[in-house]
Amino acid sequence: MATMKAIRFHTYGGPEVLVLEDAPRPEAAADELLIRVAAAGVNPLDWKVRAGHAKDWLQHQLPLIPGWDVSGTVAAMGTGVSGFKEGDEVFGMLDFTRNGAYAEYAVARATEMARKPDAVNHVNAASLPIAALTAWQALFDVARLTPGQTVLIHGAAGGVGHFAVQLAKWKGAQVIATASARNSGFARELGADRVIDYQATRFEEAVRGVDVVLDTIGGDTQQRSWQALKKGGVLVATLGIATPQAARDFGVRGEGVFVHADAGQLSQIAALIETKQLRSYISGTPPLAEAASAHEQSEAGHVRGKIVLQVSE
């Protein structure tokens, strides 16, 4: 059996359980692509899976290769694949229930991959799928954001947040962002019309009557966000709605969003990157062997934009 280098974990735990080792190289089944991985995005989901927070939900078989953002080159194709050929550069979001992209090769459903534009490098492409799709689906599919509306975005400097600020401005919305003092300038550079330092100001005392809240934080931040909304507004939460009754009490809508693969949306996002209407901020590009350190940074919070592992040239 052919092998490859991969980051795997054999038991749930901290970053130290991640090991670089030889693993079986996957093969593309029907309707699938075998991708030679160039870069793999790092997301909070990765360390949450590694720590065992999703084991009852995803029911992975260990050992597992984490990382579900990928950009690379088509190395082989299963039967029934159309629209791609060997050598094509692609990117997308892998199936959360299967092995991920912290490896030299990964398998993906052909229908869930998008062509990587020539003007977008693999590192930037690998930073996009989960975070940018989450922002897109939260703002446009769930909140149904329209030009002229006002949106409050929590965690504006993070992976999802920094895409959300830009996409909301591209849509024609007014954007209020919460960020630390260190990231306030960054949020303004992304296009935020107003930035609130959440460490110095209680946002719910400074903001009223917004149409949409995008909550990427949860907990106390979510509970304080209800009162910032206008009647009939909507709070969209990446971590789910903790108290659905609160939405009813405030006369608003509360919706969780869980990202799903969409090659069409990815292609639209890539086009915005290519035309410089959207940018991905990359805070670090460590090699595959330093995945544990990347997890430590992600788990500690306060990562600006995205960390992307460089797997191959």
Residue 262 within a domain? no
Residues 40 and 149 in one domain: no
CATH assignment at residue 60:
3.90.180.10
Residue 90 within a domain? yes
Residues 41 and 80 in one domain: yes
**% residues pLDDT > 90 (the chain):** 97
Domain termination site, one of 256, 272, 297: 256
Residues 167 and 249 in one domain: yes
For residue range 212-221, list pLDDT tens digits in order.
Answer: 999 999 999 9
Residue 89 within a domain? yes
Angle at 251 between CA 161 and CA 233, to 5 degrees: 35
Q: Which two tokens stand for residue 189?
A: 């550079």
Number of domains in the chain: 2
**Close Cβ partners of 80 (under 8 Å, ≥ 6 residues apart):** 30, 31
Separation CA 123–CA 278 (nearest Å): 15
Residue 96 within a domain? yes
Using CA atoms, how far residue 13 sits from 8, 10, 52, 289, in Å, is 12, 9, 7, 18
Q: How confident is the model over 163-177, as a mean pLDDT?
A: 98
Residue 240 burial (CB count, 10 A): 14
Residues 70 and 148 in one domain: no
pLDDT at position 1 over 80: no
Residue 302 is predicted with a pLDDT of: 82
The most distant pair of C-alpha atoms in the chain lies apart, rounded to whole Å, by 62
pTM to 2 decimals? 0.95
Residue 276 within a domain? no
Residues 199 and 292 in one domain: no
pLDDT at position 264 over 80: yes
Residues 124 and 135 in one domain: no
Residues 191 and 249 in one domain: yes
Residues 124 and 136 in one domain: no
pLDDT at position 94 over 80: yes
Residues 136 and 61 in one domain: no
Residues 287 and 195 in one domain: no
Can you spell out the DSSP letters for 228-242?
GEEEEEEEEETT--S
pLDDT at position 186 over 80: yes
For residue range 7-66, list pLDDT tens digits in order.
Answer: 999 999 999 999 999 999 999 999 999 999 999 999 999 999 999 999 988 989 999 999
Mean pLDDT of the chain: 96
Residues 117 and 136 in one domain: no
Residue 92 within a domain? yes
Structural domain for 285, as ranges: 3-128+281-310
Residue 244 within a domain? yes
For residue range 128-152, list pLDDT tens digits in order.
Answer: 999 999 999 999 999 999 999 999 9
Residues 76 and 121 in one domain: yes
Residue 123 within a domain? yes
Residue 301 is predicted with a pLDDT of: 85
Sign of CA dihedral 53, 106, 136, 182: positive
Residue the block writes with tokens 């500690």: 300
CATH assignment at residue 160:
3.40.50.720
269: buried, middle or exposed (CB in 10 Å: 19+, 13-18, 0-12)? buried
